[in-house]
Amino acid sequence: MTVPAPFQVAAVQTVSGTSLDANLKRADALIADAAQGGAGLVLLPEYFCMMGQHESDKVAIREQDGDGPVQDFLADAARRHRVWLVGGTLPLWCDDPGRVYNTSLAYDPRGERVARYDKIHLFGFTKGTESYDESRTILAGTTPVRFEAPCGPVAMSVCYDLRFPELYRQLAGDGGASLILMPAAFTYTTGKAHWEILLRARAVENQCYVLAAAQGGKHENGRRTWGHSMLVDPWGEVIDVLPEGEGVVRGTIDPARLAEVRQNLPALRHRVL
């Protein structure tokens, strides 16, 4: 069995606004920054293409699967920058005229799509005047997804999925995942309380790296997101983090580190359920 070589990855953090064109232009600049820094895989955050004034705004820009400006942008950016590119999320068409799939798409360095994941768990939260219910405008996906990259098996997930460890157990399979992807737009309230704890927990219990790309700041629509994009290693150590604002988080997926953690503490082999 061939052991993968160390592989550079990067998470892009944005503070997306209401203009699709402006968001894509800024994302491209940050992808370029990540690629020039040596990243072979780049992850964009949830809603990197738009944070609208209203939750329903994403329905207006939803795209048919395989056809649309955001998908064209992702394929082209992956090809131009020669990276594996995962487009955090974008709104794709579903049969309900008032909703979308909140979809994460992965492209290889040729610009070919290799995976599609529709967010399974839909966020709901109410505290005082703060209230969210994604099910009003999003149709939940049903299928866990992972794909093979140079660093090994990569598990896809989005934002609220982070709170459901059983999803990652299913994605890990018999051999385990090397990397979990977590594009997100965590609220400031829930992010401050739980974001880092949950990311480190998913890394520790699955003995793999977790790459999290977040929205991070005050948006045009008045919403404030937590940020703190980061890369966490299989021992739960934070390799790099960006608290707030636009930028890039970087690090290496090291197969030797994965093997060391799993050899020293063979928890994955000890599972009985």
Per residue in 147-194, pLDDT (tens digit) is: 999 999 999 999 999 999 999 999 987 778 999 999 999 999 999 999
Exactly one of 58, 63, 94, 119 is catalytic; name it: 119
- Total number of domains in the chain: 1
Establish if 271 belongs to a structural domain.
no
Q: Please list, in sequence order, all residues whose beta carbon lies within 8 angstroms of the beta carbon of residue 36, skipping any fewer than 6 positions away.
A: none
- Type and span of the H or E element at 184: strand 179-184
Exactly one of 49, 94, 151, 159 is catalytic; name it: 159
Establish if 177 belongs to a structural domain.
yes
pLDDT tens, 206-239?
999 999 999 999 999 999 999 999 999 999 999 9
Q: Hey, how many other C-beta atoms are within 10 angstroms of the C-beta on 67?
A: 9
Domain that holds residue 239: 7-264
Task: Quote the distance between the C-alpha of residue 183 and its chain's center.
Answer: 2
Q: Please list, in sequence order, all residues whose beta carbon lies within 8 angstroms of the beta carbon of residue 40, skipping any fewer than 6 positions away.
A: 7, 8, 9, 83, 84, 150, 151
Beta strands in 14-168 (DSSP E): 41-43, 84-93, 100-107, 113-118, 124-127, 130-133, 146-149, 152-155
Burial of 205 (0-12, 13-18, 19+ CB in 10 A): middle
User: Binning pLDDT at 50, 70 and 90, where does residue 263 land?
Assistant: very high
Active site (annotated) includes residue 159? yes
What's the first-to-final CA gap in the chain, in angstroms? 27
Exactly one of 46, 196, 244, 246 is catalytic; name it: 46
Active site (annotated) includes residue 46? yes
CATH number of the domain that 35 lies in?
3.60.110.10
Establish if 2 belongs to a structural domain.
no
Establish if 1 belongs to a structural domain.
no
Active site (annotated) includes residue 192? no
